[in-house]
Amino acid sequence: LPAVLFTRELFAVADPASVAVPRSLFAIELYLSLDGWRAIALHHPILYVNLVFFLNVCVLFWLLSLIQRSTWLIDPYWTIIPLLVAHFYAAHPFATANGWRSGVSLALLWAWSLRLTYNYLRREAYRFGAREDWRFAEKRRSSRHFWWYSFFYAYLSQQVMLVGLTLPFYVIHRDARPFGLFDVLFAVAGLAGIVIAHIADTTLYTFMEENRQRIARGEPKVQILERGIWRYSRHPNYFGEQLFWWAIGAIGAALGQPLVLAGTAFNSVVLAVVTVMTERRIAAAPGRREDWARYRAQTSALIPWFRQR
């Protein structure tokens, strides 16, 4: 069953010791109520995805975070869960997709996932669980109540974003209309988003490595990255990410379901909030205030554009 595969594979790549409890609960969930899960998966696939996500990510990942005192596990799964959801929709018994549209959209999602997974592993020096996202780490340090509201802040919010972002794949795999010009244009835009995000993240990674080497030599580090695409956008990696998901959403909207863009829009709002948090953090760093103020005044916030003089 695609539904069973989706649930089982949700934990297949995590550390075995970390997911012993989820696997046990999955067995109870599967064998005690298989017919019920089958019915929901067959007739209400979006509800099924939400239930599986809520139980196996929101609840179980949250419980693991209480034990580990870290929310790190959601980060690598962010790059995997959209693939699981999209393939669940593609393999659904009632799926009636156009082969080209299905293949192109899934290929783009695989490219997105591989790029983001590689960037995550590279950034973390190929270690799992060494650190958690700085936003969650700061909340943990600043509030003794983080243990309970992290369920909403770090996990339930991810469900709204990830399930919302993957809604276009439900529409894509429920519509067999011919593959057309709009599909091509949006696919090219999605591929451009992946390429832009990869270039931006690679440039940032190289910049960070160069600064580490400067510090090791006893030299002052460069405070602001202003080369390559970062010369024309303060957050080109975010721009590439948004371009990809809006392109995927547009494919679904072009099939007559504009409501699938609600998840994309919500993700954009969240990213806007994250951008503000990131910029405040950069501005507060010692020795960066003046350089950052100049860079901020000259450089587009998101969409790469000519610099202001």
From residue 126, give the alpha-carbon distance in Å to each of 38, 118, 120, 129, 152. 37, 9, 8, 10, 28
pLDDT digits (tens, 9 = 90+) for 230-264: 999 999 999 999 999 999 999 999 999 999 999 99
Q: Exposed, middle or buried: residue 288 (CB in 10 Å: 0-12, 13-18, 19+)?
A: middle
8 Å CB contact between 180 and 224: no
**How confident is the model over 67-80, as a mean pLDDT?**
93
C-alpha 116/C-alpha 272 separation (Å) is: 19
Question: What does the pLDDT read at residue 130?
Answer: 87
Please check the confidence at residue 68 and state whether its pLDDT lies above 90.
yes
pLDDT band at 177 (very low <50, low <70, confident <90, very high): very high
pLDDT digits (tens, 9 = 90+) for 203-227: 999 999 999 999 999 999 999 999 9
8 Å CB contact between 98 and 179: yes
Question: What does the pLDDT read at residue 29?
Answer: 54
Question: What does the pLDDT read at residue 10?
Answer: 41
Q: Exposed, middle or buried: residue 60 (CB in 10 Å: 0-12, 13-18, 19+)?
A: buried
Please check the confidence at residue 28 and state whether its pLDDT lies above 90.
no
**How confident is the model over 85-113, as a mean pLDDT?**
96
**How confident is the model over 171-188, as a mean pLDDT?**
96
Of 9-23, 137-151, 173-187, 265-279, minimum mean pLDDT range? 9-23
C-alpha 194/C-alpha 113 separation (Å) is: 10
pTM: 0.87
Residues 6+ apart with CB under 8 A from 303: 233, 239
Please check the confidence at residue 23 and state whether its pLDDT lies above 80.
no
Q: Is 125 left (phi over 0), alpha (psi -120 to 50) or beta?
A: left
C-alpha 213/C-alpha 192 separation (Å) is: 32
Q: Is 134 left (phi over 0), alpha (psi -120 to 50) or beta?
A: alpha
